[in-house]
Amino acid sequence: MLSLAIESSCDETSVAVLNNETVLSNVISSQLFHTKYGGVVPEVASREHLKKIVEITEIALKNADIKLSDIKIICATSEPGLIGALLIGLNYGKALSMCLNIPFIPVNHIHAHLYSNFLNNSKISFPFISLIVSGGHTLLILAEEFFKHKIIGKTVDDAAGEAFDKVAKLLGLGYPGGPLIDKYAKSGNENFHKFPESVLKNNEFDFSFSGIKTSVRYFLKDIDFESIKNESLVNDICASFQKAVVNTLFNKTYLAAKKYGVKEISVSGGVSANSYLKSKFNFLSESGYKINFPVLEYSTDNAAMIGLTGYLKYKYSVNKSIFINETLFQNAKAKLDYENF
């Protein structure tokens, strides 16, 4: 079954074409100009999605060598995300599904990150512990079967990716901060300074990253960072900060896997692209754990993961007719007839 998927929840306009679970094309247009503002400006992001969405869809269809009329379902991110940005992809997708008279599948962006690992690895088996680490979310989930997920931990303040972005900003590195910190940390000393690793009393699986961000801020003030700033100091701070964040993510995930007696761990979301995080988790393979990471293209926001999740949601839904909103379709048709008249 051919599906067309749209992602527009933040600063990536992405469209993919899939045949069942196989990706035929996955076009991603990143709004790099947000760098100059130090973060994503929601209204500007929405307008850019509006400018790009038709062109990206045409490229995705062309790359897949598929005609729009051959598409059988449309999937689009419905939540969570920047509301203006979401509305562009969501309404464009709904309009396409109404014109083609095919089902429309709204997809939760977090579910899509969870299933992104299945895009390059069909051998993942339930139950598994899923660590979702992105710019907006940090979640520990026990995935019991398709669409049966139990949230066992979440951030009580900043997301892990947000901490990377904010610390990169404090260091004057640019946006998005994660890939830059990852890069500079490679030449730094991770034991240069011990930044705090969060421990929460209420739920041992919850996360907090606002404290570490503040501690970097005070550390920079104490050493008068601006006047002594040099390449090796930046590298050392990046390595020490990254070590503290990754240790927190790793320790809680490992603890959750042990508590729930699960031997398979899946990591996804933008921060899963982090090389230190990957190497830390891969060590667990030696102790009998199966570790899954998405390939780089599917770590950060992309429409392929929306397409796969939408397809799975459709496949496992008992009542598929809920995805065709006939009332909505007839209303729109009546309106068009009236306009023609």
Chain residues binding Zn ion by CB under 5 A are 134, 301
Closest by CA to 298, choosing from 21, 54, 66, 44, is 21
Any contact of residue 274 with ligand KG4 (CB under 6 A)? yes
By C-beta, is 165 or 236 nearer to ligand KG4? 165
In the complex, minimum distance from the CB of residue 26 to Zn ion, in angstroms, rounded to a whole number: 14
- Residue in 76, 98, 271, 305 binding ligand KG4, rule: CB under 6 A: 271
In the chain, the amino acid numbered 127 is: P
In the complex, minimum distance from the CB of residue 28 to ligand KG4, in angstroms, rounded to a whole number: 10
Closest by CA to 266, choosing from 68, 55, 111, is 111
Distance between CA 290 and CA 311 in Å, rounded?
25
Which option in ligand KG4, Zn ion, none does residue 177 bind, with CB closer than 5 to 8 A by kind?
ligand KG4
Whether the ω angle into residue 106 lies within 30 degrees of 0, i.e. cis, is no
Q: Is 149 left (phi over 0), alpha (psi -120 to 50) or beta?
A: beta
DSSP letter at 158 equals S
Closest by CA to 23, choosing from 309, 334, 229, 256, is 309
- Residue in 93, 103, 178, 307 binding ligand KG4, rule: CB under 6 A: 178
Residue 217 is encoded by which pair of tokens?
């801020």
Q: 290: which strand partners?
A: 264
In the complex, minimum distance from the CB of residue 137 to ligand KG4, in angstroms, rounded to a whole number: 7
| Stretch of residues binding ligand KG4 (CB under 6 A), selected from 36-44, 50-58, 178-186, 225-233 | 178-186
What residues from 29 to 68 belong to the interface with ligand KG4 (CB under 6 A)? none
Which option in Zn ion, ligand KG4, none does residue 205 bind, with CB closer than 5 to 8 A by kind?
none
Any contact of residue 176 with ligand KG4 (CB under 6 A)? yes
In the complex, minimum distance from the CB of residue 80 to Zn ion, in angstroms, rounded to a whole number: 9
Which option in ligand KG4, Zn ion, none does residue 27 bind, with CB closer than 5 to 8 A by kind?
none
Reduced to 3 states (helix: H, G, I; strand: E, B; else coil), residue 137 is: coil
Closest by CA to 133, choosing from 107, 162, 108, is 162
By C-beta, is 80 or 127 nearer to ligand KG4? 80
Closest by CA to 77, choosing from 327, 337, 316, 301, is 301
Number of shown-chain residues binding ligand KG4 (CB under 6 A): 19
N-to-C CA span, the chain: 37
In the complex, minimum distance from the CB of residue 109 to Zn ion, in angstroms, rounded to a whole number: 6
Residues that bind ligand KG4 (CB under 6 A): 10, 134-136, 161, 164-165, 176-179, 182, 269-271, 273-274, 300-301
